[in-house]
Amino acid sequence: MRTYQKNLKNIIAVANGFEKADLVFKNARILNVFSEEICCGDLAVANSTIVGIGSYEGREEIDLSGKYLVPGFIDAHMHIESTMVTPFELARAIVPSGTTTIIADPHEIVNVAGKTGLDYLLNATEQIPLNVFVMLPSSVPATPFETNGAGPFLAADMQPYLNHPRILGLGEVMCFPDVLNAEPVILDKLTLCQHNFVDGHAPGLSGKPLQAYACAGINSDHESTTWPEAHEKLRAGFYILVREGSAAKNLHAIISGLLATELPIDRFLFCTDDKHLEDIHQNGHIRWNIKQAIDLGLCPIKAIKMATINTAQAYGLKKLGAIAPGYRADLVILSDLETMQVEQVYQNGCLVDDTLWKHKPHHMIDPRLLNSVHIQTLTPEKLQLNIGSKDHVIEIVSDQIETHHLLESLPGKDGFFIPNQSYAKLCVIERHHYSGNVGVAAIKGFGIHDGAIATTVAHDSHNIIVVGDNDQDILLAVNHLAEIGGGYVVVGNHKIIGAVPLSLAGLISLESGEMVQKKVASLISSAHKLGVAPGVDPFITLSFMALPVIPTLRLTDLGLFDVDAFQLIKA
């Protein structure tokens, strides 16, 4: 209390001009998200807090003549695990491009390791130069039609975490049929978090079911792929999270619709959901969402509001998302507003430079998070797929994570499916409990030839998922994953081309971000050389083929799953 009052006394004195600020940005063009103006003046910082805008003196002064100061960017929904690096390495990757705050849903690692995984992420996001807020995962597992590692994560498991200062509410409610049917397990979670923010996940939900989903207390949705879908959800009161990740690219459709209708932007936020380090390295993080929206014709100030104050106000992040007295000094210096070229970033009043990353905090890793791949010996017979005159086929949709459900005649021999130029074999192998479960299906549009791609990153239960055009390469890829304890692997012409070990829960590497980025970029290039189609991210697209809550056809370790009918397809 005394420390707080001492700091408060100091910043009031500095704001009044009675004392010098710690830091003053002189002659800046300051973006005011409240008035939607560019105000010229000095910005004073003391005790990591913005204390005033006007004319100030500081112990340190930086002339920003001609440059813009905007608030630090916020990612409204993302999965740390999807970047495949530790939180510290993630901060190193995204903070330099202007992202100073993320809202993370840890359901990936919680599906694998339960509370042990959640505790790791909460611990590993302490004392890093990135504000990390966390949603409690609502759908672990996403459905009962798959096998996850940790079993169910129930309301009773969540309750002890609600008082954590960085827990904001309930993560994306993917089991929307359970909500619509008022199933007790999800009602317990919604009741527990009734006074918190609740994220949604309702692809294609419309009409009365959408109204019922909103009535359940769900506040947002990030699964709209078209403007009409986003518009209907907006009318139902949802915050619309405009997603632009590595595989799911929904920004163009939604922003174009928003511009055409000239509707208010205050309920629209930006998120990445799942984005590779290589894409972050090339384009930046949330700044890329802002830049894309500006290129489509959205006013730069409005685009920046969607990445800052809109998200802060939606999730109740006080003192974040704006440049105003009393707000945290998370600041981005831009050369101009059109190109969104980031020159410097200040997080919590500190310049983000090379010296900031030298002080890497030590976070203990529970041994239970290691050695997480447990499979029975896999034989070619386990990979066989019986075929008839017409069979169910998963068809890839370019630049999306939705799929089409086809009924087509498959190539084969002796009554079994044989991949060709059009159809590859997709397999999901349970890797948590030695169960021996294997799901097999035909997939169209992936485009792989003379090889296989496999990973333990398979949303959301994270079993092994592999795609290939021959069983020999599929078996080689799966067995190599077991040897390295999980990760990514590419096989071509019966040889291992490359791999990225993800030794922490089969999801996260313990190597540096630069090393992971370099290895993943190489694997992606190798995968495309094997014929993986443009518009298909070889790993992220593959990882979503096992998620049974996104339309229309998926594969789990228990078999083919019809998302529209919400049931397994009988063989």
Q: What is the pLDDT of residues 103-158, one digit of tens each?
A: 999 999 999 999 999 999 999 999 999 999 999 999 999 999 999 999 999 999 99
pLDDT value of position 556: 98
> So what's the architecture of 72-320 in CATH?
Alpha-Beta Barrel (3.20)
Instruction: Judge contact between 9 and 2, C-beta under 8 A.
Output: no
Q: pTM score, two decimals?
A: 0.94
- DSSP 8-state symbol, 313: H
Domain boundaries, the chain: 2-66, 72-320, 370-568
Strand pairing of 342-347 and 350-351?
antiparallel
Q: What percent of the chain has pLDDT over 90?
A: 94
- Three-state secondary structure call for residue 16: coil
**Which residues lie closer than 8 Å to 490 by C-beta, 6 or more apart?**
451, 452, 453, 477, 496, 497, 498, 499, 523, 526, 527, 530, 538
The predicted-structure confidence for 441-460, as pLDDT tens digits, reads as follows 999 999 999 999 999 999 99
Token output for 297: 């014709």
Q: Do domains 2-66 and 72-320 have the same CATH topology?
A: no
Query: In the predicted model, what is the mean pLDDT of the chain?
Result: 96
User: Average of pLDDT values for 205-217?
Assistant: 98
pLDDT value of position 198: 98
- Three-state secondary structure call for residue 109: helix
Query: Is the pLDDT reported for residue 463 higher than 90?
Result: yes
Instruction: Judge contact between 200 and 216, C-beta under 8 A.
Output: no
Instruction: Judge contact between 419 and 425, C-beta under 8 A.
Output: yes
Token output for 228: 């009409």
Token output for 428: 């999901």
Query: Residue with structure tokens 């495309």?
Result: 528
Query: Is the pLDDT reported for residue 361 higher than 90?
Result: no
Q: CB atoms < 10 A from the CB of 566, how many?
A: 17
User: Which of the pair, 2 or 413, is modelled with greater confidence?
Assistant: 413
Token output for 172: 């994306």
pLDDT-based confidence at residue 3 (cuts at 50, 70, 90): confident
pLDDT value of position 130: 97
Instruction: Judge contact between 530 and 264, C-beta under 8 A.
Output: no
Segment among 36-40, 91-95, 277-281, 505-509 with least mean pLDDT: 277-281
**Residue 35: half-sphere exposure toward Cβ, Cα within 13 Å:** 8
pLDDT-based confidence at residue 1 (cuts at 50, 70, 90): low
Strand partners, 442: 393, 425
- CA dihedral (392, 393, 399, 401) positive or negative: positive
Please report, in angstroms and rounded to a whole number, the separation of the first and last CA atoms in the chain.
65
Instruction: Judge contact between 390 and 408, C-beta under 8 A.
Output: yes
**Residue 114: half-sphere exposure toward Cβ, Cα within 13 Å:** 11
Which burial class, exposed, middle or buried, applies to 153 when counting CB atoms under 10 A from its CB (0-12, 13-18, 19+)?
buried
Please tell me the CATH superfamily of domain 2-66, with its number.
Urease, subunit C, domain 1 (2.30.40.10)
Cα separations in angstroms, 25 against 15, 59, 63, 349: 14, 11, 6, 11
The predicted-structure confidence for 476-494, as pLDDT tens digits, reads as follows 999 999 999 999 999 999 9
User: Average of pLDDT values for 275-290?
Assistant: 94
Query: Residue with structure tokens 């009052």?
Result: 5
Residue ranges of the alpha helices (H) in 284-434?
A: 286-295, 300-306, 309-315
